[in-house]
């Protein structure tokens, strides 16, 4: 695997504005889900529902994102990244504010998360399109790594919200603060029109990766998300079940999130110097992450810290690298292509918390974490198979 980039792909200066904007919009997109997971102890204590119901509520958020992603990707190609990002942030405002004010029952919470899922479906392809169009090619790996740090940023905010807000003034104020943050971000998105015509979008699909390969890669990232998403939703409760103080457990979630942020940024930077093998690296990270899930399953407070670091860093540190690889394979329609793969990512993110929550209720946290490790290995295998399809498609002669 070569790590020597072409000199023409190394710009002298990197504009941070689109990267920071993408991180902000993507963070708002997933924030309703991860605030729900991070504040689960307080929310469940007031509203009254079990771990399985928590998993189902978070799953609804990602089911809506999954069902909307492919369509959202095509729409984003037409209306442009800036318009779509602004719309996504405003939907996030409505979702977070609705939870803070109206979520008095489990059904009310779910209704608010449905709205948030729609916003997230728009946010992902919109930010991918902006980075593909506005960041120089030699720095896009770093840009996608930083952008995908939005998810651990969301879990970091959720983890810090536990000791700072949830146990002091109440969990609803955390959602109200998230709504204010989303409103500020929506106002920062540039208002110039950047859409593309429908004919341009149709033409742009020529020469991109075959649909079958994208579907298989969507399955792979779906399995990876199935394994990893419970980290944000259940690490706090899992740690608390071993006797760790709830406030400390929230800080443990923040630690894992910080590691995840660092790994995604570093992996993206390294990807800019690679001429191939990015999907192989994704598969390798998923395999290493299995060790982290196994340590989480041990129930030992000492191993719990190491397990969180490995699970967040390797088992959930690959999304930026994955999206960058997809964009490289589909340079003419990155929003449409990542909309397809995001269907798998969101679908897996929906299935993960749901299965994890009910597994915990039926067995234990240890069994649920072990199952997550097995699914992570299956994800690695599926991504390698999808990569082989991409390689074969590139080797076929053009008719």
Q: Tell me, what DSSP letter sits at residue 163?
A: I
In whole angstroms, what is the distance from residue 99 CA to residue 31 CA? 12
* pLDDT over 90 (residue 311): yes
Quick one: which of 289, 64, 261, 293 has its CA closest to 147? Answer: 261
Mark out the alpha helices in 229-333 (DSSP H runs).
Answer: 230-241, 246-271, 278-298, 301-313, 319-329
- CA 44/CA 55 separation, integer angstroms: 12
Record the tokens describing residue 110, joined without a space: 């779910």
What is the phi-psi region of residue 291: left when phi exceeds 0, alpha when psi lies from -120 to 50, beta otherwise? alpha
Residue 345 placed within a domain: yes
Q: Under DSSP, is residue 316 helix (H, G, I), strand (E, B) or coil?
A: coil
Q: How far is 230 from 379, CA to CA, in rounded Å? A: 15
Domain housing 230: 16-193+205-395
Q: Kindly report the number of other CB atoms within 10 A of residue 162's CB atom.
A: 26
Say which CATH number the domain at 344 has: 1.20.1250.20
Long-range CB contact pairs, 23-26, < 8 A, 24+: 23/146, 23/147, 23/149, 23/150, 23/153, 24/150, 24/185, 24/188, 25/85, 25/88, 25/89, 25/123, 25/126, 25/127, 25/150, 25/185, 25/189, 26/123, 26/124, 26/127, 26/147, 26/148, 26/150, 26/151
Residue 217 belongs to a domain: yes
pLDDT at 242 over 50: yes
305-317 exposure pattern, b = at least 16 Cβ within 10 A, e = fewer: bebbbbbbbbbbb
- Is residue 5 very low, low, confident or very high in pLDDT (cuts 50, 70, 90)? very low
What DSSP letter does each residue of 216-258 carry, written as one string? HHHHHHHHHHHHHTHHHHHHHHHHHHTT--HHHHHHHHHHHHH
Residue 50 domain-assigned (yes or no): yes
The total of structural domains in the chain comes to 1
Q: How confident is the model at residue 399 (pLDDT cuts 50, 70, 90)?
A: very low
Q: Is residue 2 part of a domain?
A: no
pLDDT, tens digit, 9 for 90 and up, residues 320-373 = 899 888 888 887 778 888 889 989 988 988 888 788 888 998 999 999 999 999
Task: Report in angstroms the alpha-carbon separations of 22 from 70, 86, 120, 160, 164.
Answer: 19, 11, 12, 22, 26
Question: What is the tally of helices (H) and strands (E) in the chain?
Answer: 17, 0
Q: pLDDT by residue (tens digit) across 6-23?
A: 444 444 466 788 888 988
Question: Which residues make Cβ contacts (< 8 Å) with residue 20, sequence separation at least 6?
Answer: none
Q: What is the mean pLDDT of residues 42-57?
A: 80
Task: Tell whether 200 is covered by a domain.
Answer: no
For position 370, what pLDDT does the model report?
A: 96
User: Is 1 a domain residue?
Assistant: no
pLDDT 10s digits, 196-217: 444 444 444 545 667 888 899 9
Domain-embedded: residue 7:
no
Confidence of residue 84 (pLDDT cuts 50, 70, 90): very high
- Range from 71-80, 117-126, 152-161, 297-306 that averages highest in pLDDT: 117-126
Helix (H) / strand (E) element for 51: namely helix 51-79
Label residue 285 exposed, middle or buried (CB < 10 Å: 0-12, 13-18, 19+): buried
- R_g of the chain computed on alpha carbons: 20
* Average of per-residue pLDDT values in the chain: 83
Residue 193's pLDDT is: 52
In a domain, 131, yes or no: yes
The whole-model pTM stands at 0.77
Check residue 197 and give its pLDDT. Answer: 43
Query: In this prediction, what percent of the chain has a pLDDT beyond 90?
Result: 32
pLDDT of residue 371: 96
């Amino acid at each position: 695997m070569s790590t020597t980039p072409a000199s023409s792909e190394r710009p002298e200066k990197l504009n941070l504005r689109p990267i920071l904007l993408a991180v902000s919009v993507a963070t708002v997109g997933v924030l309703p889900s991860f605030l729900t997971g991070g504040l689960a102890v307080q929310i469940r204590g007031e509203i009254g529902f079990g771990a399985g119901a928590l998993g189902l509520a978070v799953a609804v958020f990602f089911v809506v994102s999954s069902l909307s992603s492919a369509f959202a990707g095509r729409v984003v190609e037409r209306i442009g990244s800036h318009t779509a990002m602004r719309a996504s942030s405003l939907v996030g405002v409505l979702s977070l504010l609705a939870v803070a004010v109206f979520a008095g029952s489990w059904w009310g919470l779910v209704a608010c998360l449905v709205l948030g899922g729609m916003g997230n479906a728009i946010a992902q392809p919109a930010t991918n399109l902006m980075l593909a169009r506005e960041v120089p090619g030699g720095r896009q790996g770093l840009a996608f790594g930083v952008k995908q740090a939005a998810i651990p940023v969301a879990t970091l905010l959720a983890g810090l919200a536990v000791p700072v807000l949830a146990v002091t003034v109440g969990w609803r104020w955390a959602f109200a603060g998230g709504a204010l943050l989303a409103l500020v971000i929506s106002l920062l998105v540039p208002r110039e029109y950047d859409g593309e015509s429908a004919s341009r979008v149709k033409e742009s699909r020529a020469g991109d990766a075959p649909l079958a390969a994208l579907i298989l890669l969507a399955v792979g990232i779906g399995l990876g998300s199935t394994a990893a998403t419970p980290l944000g939703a259940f690490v706090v409760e899992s740690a608390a079940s071993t006797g760790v103080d709830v406030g400390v457990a929230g800080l443990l979630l923040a630690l894992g999130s910080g590691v995840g942020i660092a790994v995604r940024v570093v992996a993206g930077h390294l990807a800019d110097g690679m001429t191939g093998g990015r999907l192989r690296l994704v598969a390798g990270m998923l395999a290493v992450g299995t060790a982290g899930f196994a340590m989480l399953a041990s129930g030992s407070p000492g191993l719990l810290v190491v397990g969180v670091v490995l699970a967040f860093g390797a088992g959930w540190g690959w999304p930026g690298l994955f999206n960058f690889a997809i964009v490289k394979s589909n340079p003419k329609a990155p929003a449409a292509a990542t909309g397809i793969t995001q269907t798998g990512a969101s679908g897996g993110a929906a299935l993960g918390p749901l299965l994890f929550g009910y597994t915990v209720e039926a067995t234990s946290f240890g069994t649920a974490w072990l199952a997550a490790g097995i699914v992570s290995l299956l994800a690695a295998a599926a991504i390698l198979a999808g990569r082989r399809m991409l390689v074969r498609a590139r080797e076929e002669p053009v008719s």
